[in-house]
């Protein structure tokens, strides 16, 4: 063999060993054998020597004790010097929650069994019965227009929410709560997206708030007192974290609690004098108990030597002297209860701290641990539920709304939006459902919570925009008939709360994931902090092997478009699993190269961090889509939704990947990344027009795919008394119209043929007139005419928008003439111009 062939063989061996992540000893033996074979086989001496030297290096490096003392020790000393110090709040945030599928994606070589072997439980019968009965009843009572006019949910609705314990889904049955699974909570909240006020009022107490904090950290006395009262609605909770000077930077709380002595119930006790100002607090105006986060200080050393004790969380009854609560904010889009809370020299006993005095200073840990679960359920449910409602309504509306003598669902501009709503809804539903099941299995997925919070609320924004555009004029006129506007108007709330999306994308998702999910970064940091050379050596050389392996995997998978990577599935989705393997290898390389080239500066390069967060998010969501399809029975009819979702997510992944490479400050590193991760350029293609048309056919007619996509939306016949009369549920009406639309299409076609043959009088422009005349002329049968008139009546009812008397919106301005007022004015002027009688 020629020298070139031997060189290629050596490269192939090195790539194979790193690709398979072979241990150092195995690599040493393999390369030693190659060196001998190459020497005997007549290869150039240089080839054999290189192989032998690499084999010796691997062999030496496999001697852990020698390696640690001669190679790792100086690196360890330097690492400890440059390792930035972390505050306790940063450590707490980074170590909160657990690592699940997100860790597999960071590994560069995801083990698909971790996800595919994940359970697929159905909702328990008792919880399903609640969904079928109490939830359906509550949904039938909700009318967002009526709520907007009244400024709150009705007393009847509030009483029903409390009576049926909707506020206690997370409270165990032993305390009188419902004790529902995370999957059921998500299902309920998705259905309640028909009303922003109901969704928020139910969602917040079941997310971050006093209930969850008490469950996890409260004293037994606190649990026994508060949890039953929270469960049955005697207590309404709120939680005060955000203030005028502490929004996204929640750790910079200016609110204080100073340890002092005071009088409580006639006795002198140790307690806290509190001063605080909170805003944007959901349920505050009606709350009876306030969870409050504040900075605790002990300047006189009354409970210990530490002066600045740190962030603490306490429960404050509403009636406390010095606390001002009851005013309201007016959130955009939905009139849910929200308002400020003020406190001036409010005294509470130390027992009011959640968990008692022993939990003083533990508030930040408590909050971030709770957020890792709550953010996976409540706000992601708004994206999934809002999407289901939007596609159920928009798909049907586009099918029955005709322009240019065809349903608007046949217009390609509308089709593009319908497909986008459907694909986004499928993605959001998959992410919300599969991650909720992970919570039920005991995971506390902090990084996925950030992924879902950001991506699913942004999906909700895109869905709302598309739905508004499809409905056109119907969506921009407010009134009881407008089922689109409230969701559109209230989207910014979800975007902003529980960690603003800008912050979540640019700082939290990747910043936390890099340390929490990377297989070696956190072990290296822990080893340095504990001054453990042996542990650091193991992590460091594991990290080196990890980097070399991902270099090889990325190069091979990208050059072959993942053709030879193995995945544990067969069938039409196999190619998507392979692509995620390719992307994971590329992502792992980019993470380490960005960290290498930017060092500590990476923390402040938010656009770089944001693009890495986007890459991680798209892989995570695509994985959820694939798992969701398998869990639902791998129905072939649903494949267009899977294909659209994956293709869209993959295209977005490569957009972020390409953007990162173009903007990485170190151009040599960027060039290496371009060669390793995008040697063939952008490969992913956006969904085709043909695929878009397939999806539109699925979401604009009755079929099992549409039923699975919109499962969980309330489709009962009526909703509560509206502004003027009892309203029919739009989704129920649309279900009836879709049942009849194909029969109507045949009749439309007959009328169209007759029009082309000039059988109609041109003066007959209305469809009702053409139906009536068509029966008279024998173009239509009497039964067809009767059917069509009833069908058109229902269509027109859904197309109509509301109109109100002019006086409905308040007194008319003095300088504004109404027709009635103008006539009166003209008469007065005419009278004034007549001469006075003598």
Residue from 127, 212, 498, 524 carrying the catalytic annotation? 498
Q: Please say whether the beta carbons of 346 and 316 come within 8 A.
A: yes
The answer to whether 282 touches 266, Cβ cutoff 8 Å, is: no
Do residues 691 and 642 touch, judged by C-beta distance below 8 A? no
Q: What is the DSSP string of 259-275?
A: EEEEEETTEEEEEEEEE
Dihedral pair phi/psi, residue 370, rounded to 5°? -70, -40
* DSSP state letter for 800: -
Q: How far apart are CA 391 and CA 396, in angstroms?
A: 8
Distance CA 509, CA 453 (A): 10
Residues 657 and 673: their CA atoms lie apart, in Å, by: 10
CA 483, CA 799: separation in Å to the nearest integer?
A: 12
| Helix (H) or strand (E) segment spanning residue 34 | helix 24-40
Among the listed residues 342, 298, 351, the one whose alpha carbon sits nearest the alpha carbon of residue 318: 342
CA distance 487 to 334: 8
Rounded distance between C-alpha atoms, residue 70 and residue 73, angstroms: 6
> What number of other Cβ atoms are within 10 A of residue 663's Cβ?
12
Q: Is there a contact between 185 and 376 (Cβ–Cβ < 8 Å)?
A: no
Of 131, 136, 156, 146, the residue nearest 717 (C-alpha): 136
Looking from the CA of 425 toward its CB, the CA atoms found within 13 Å total: 35
Length of the chain: 838
CA separation for the pair 530, 514 (Å, rounded): 20
Q: Between β-strands 289-297 and 256-264, what pairing exists: parallel, antiparallel or unpaired?
A: parallel
> What value, to the nearest 5°, has the Cα angle with vertex 299 and ends 294 and 303?
85
The Cα–Cα gap between 311 and 276 comes to: 13
Helix, strand, coil percent values for the chain (each to nearest 5): 65, 10, 25
Distance CA 396, CA 3 (A): 68
DSSP 45-63: HHHHHHHHHHHHHHHHHT-
What's phi and psi for 682, nearest 5 deg? -75, 130
In order of 383, 438, 811, 820, 824, the CA distances from 827 in angstroms are 58, 75, 22, 11, 5
Neighbours of 746 (CB within 10 A): 9
User: Tokens 């340095």 correspond to what residue?
Assistant: 528
Active site (annotated) includes residue 725: no
| 690 CB neighbour count, 10 Å cutoff | 8
Q: Which residues are catalytic?
A: 498
């Amino acid at each position: 063999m020629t020298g070139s062939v031997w060189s290629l063989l050596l490269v192939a061996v090195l790539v194979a060993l790193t690709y398979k992540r072979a241990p150092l000893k195995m690599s040493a033996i393999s390369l030693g054998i190659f060196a001998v074979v190459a020497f005997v086989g007549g290869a150039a001496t240089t080839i054999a020597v290189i192989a032998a030297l690499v084999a010796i290096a691997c062999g030496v490096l496999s001697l852990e004790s020698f390696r640690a003392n001669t190679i790792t020790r100086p690196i360890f000393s330097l690492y400890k010097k440059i390792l930035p110090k972390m505050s306790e709040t940063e450590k707490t945030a980074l170590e909160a929650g657990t690592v699940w599928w997100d860790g597999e994606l960071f590994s560069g070589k995801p083990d698909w069994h971790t996800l595919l072997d994940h359970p697929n439980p159905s909702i328990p019968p008792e919880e399903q019965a609640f969904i079928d009965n109490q939830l359906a009843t509550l949904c039938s009572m909700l009318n967002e227009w009526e709520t907007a006019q009244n400024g709150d949910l009705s007393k009847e609705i509030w009483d029903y929410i409390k009576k049926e314990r909707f506020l206690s889904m997370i409270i165990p049955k032993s305390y009188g709560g419902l004790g529902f699974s995370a999957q059921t909570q998500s299902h309920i909240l998705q259905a309640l997206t028909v009303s922003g006020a109901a969704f928020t009022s139910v969602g917040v107490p079941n997310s971050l708030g006093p209930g969850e904090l008490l469950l996890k950290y409260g004293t037994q006395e606190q649990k026994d007192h508060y949890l039953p009262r929270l469960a049955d609605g005697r207590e309404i909770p709120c939680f005060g974290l955000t203030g005028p000077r502490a929004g996204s930077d929640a750790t910079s709380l200016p609110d204080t609690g100073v340890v002092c002595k005071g009088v409580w119930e006639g006795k002198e006790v140790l307690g806290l004098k509190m001063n605080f100002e909170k805003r944007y607090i959901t349920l505050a105006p009606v709350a009876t108990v306030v969870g409050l986060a504040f900075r605790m200080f002990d300047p006189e050393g009354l409970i210990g030597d530490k002066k600045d004790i740190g962030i603490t969380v306490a429960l404050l009854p509403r009636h406390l002297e010095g606390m001002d609560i009851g005013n309201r904010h007016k959130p955009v889009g939905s009139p849910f209860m929200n308002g400020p809370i003020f406190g001036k020299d409010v005294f509470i006993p130390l027992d009011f701290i959640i968990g008692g005095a022993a939990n003083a200073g533990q508030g930040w840990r408590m909050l971030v641990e709770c957020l890792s679960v709550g953010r996976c359920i409540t706000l992601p449910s708004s994206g999934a539920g809002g999407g289901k409602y939007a596609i159920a309504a928009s798909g049907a509306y586009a099918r029955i709304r005709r322009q240019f003598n065809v349903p608007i669902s046949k217009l390609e501009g509308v089709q593009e939006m319908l497909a986008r709503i459907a694909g986004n809804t499928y993605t959001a539903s998959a992410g919300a459902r599969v991650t909720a099941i992970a919570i039920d299995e005991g995971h506390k997925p902090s990084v996925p919570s950030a992924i879902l919070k950001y991506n699913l609320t942004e999906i909700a924004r895109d869905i709302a925009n598309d739905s508004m555009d499809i409905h056109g004029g119907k969506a921009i006129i407010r009134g009881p008939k407008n089922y689109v506007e409230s969701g559109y108007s209230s989207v910014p709330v979800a975007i902003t709360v529980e960690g603003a999306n800008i912050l979540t994308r640019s700082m939290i998702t990747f910043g936390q994931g890099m340390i929490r999910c990377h297989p070696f970064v956190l072990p290296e940091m822990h080893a340095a902090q504990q001054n453990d050379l042996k542990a650091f050596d193991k992590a460091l050389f594991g990290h080196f092997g990890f980097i070399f392996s991902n270099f090889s995997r990325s190069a091979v998978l990208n050059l072959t478009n993942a053709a030879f990577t193995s995945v544990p599935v067969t069938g039409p989705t196999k190619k998507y699993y392979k692509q995620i393997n390719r992307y994971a290898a590329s992502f792992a390389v980019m993470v380490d190269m960005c960290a290498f080239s930017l060092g500590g500066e990476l923390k402040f390069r938010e656009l770089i961090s944001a693009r890495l967060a986007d890459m991680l998010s798209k892989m995570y969501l695509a994985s959820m889509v694939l798992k969701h399809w398998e869990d639902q029975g791998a129905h072939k009819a649903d494949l267009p939704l899977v294909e659209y979702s994956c293709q869209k997510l993959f295209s977005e992944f490569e957009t972020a990947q390409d953007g990162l490479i173009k903007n990485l400050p170190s151009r040599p590193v960027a060039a290496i990344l371009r060669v390793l991760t995008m040697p063939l350029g952008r490969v992913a293609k956006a969904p085709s027009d043909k695929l878009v048309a397939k999806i539109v056919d699925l979401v604009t007619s009755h079929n099992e795919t549409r039923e699975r996509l919109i499962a969980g939306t309330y489709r009962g016949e009526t909703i509560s008394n509206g502004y003027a009369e009892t309203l029919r549920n739009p989704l129920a009406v649309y279900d009836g119209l879709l049942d009849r639309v194909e029969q109507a299409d045949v009749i439309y076609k007959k009328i169209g043929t007759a029009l082309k043959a000039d059988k109609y009088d041109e003066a007959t422009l209305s469809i009702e007139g053409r139906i009536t005349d068509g029966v008279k002329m024998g173009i239509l049968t009497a039964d067809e005419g009767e059917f069509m008139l009833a069908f058109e009546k229902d269509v027109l009812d859904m197309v109509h928008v509301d109109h109100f008397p002019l006086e409905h919106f308040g007194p008319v301005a003095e300088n504004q003439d109404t027709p009635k007022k103008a006539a009166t004015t003209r008469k007065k002027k005419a009278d004034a111009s007549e001469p006075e009688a003598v």
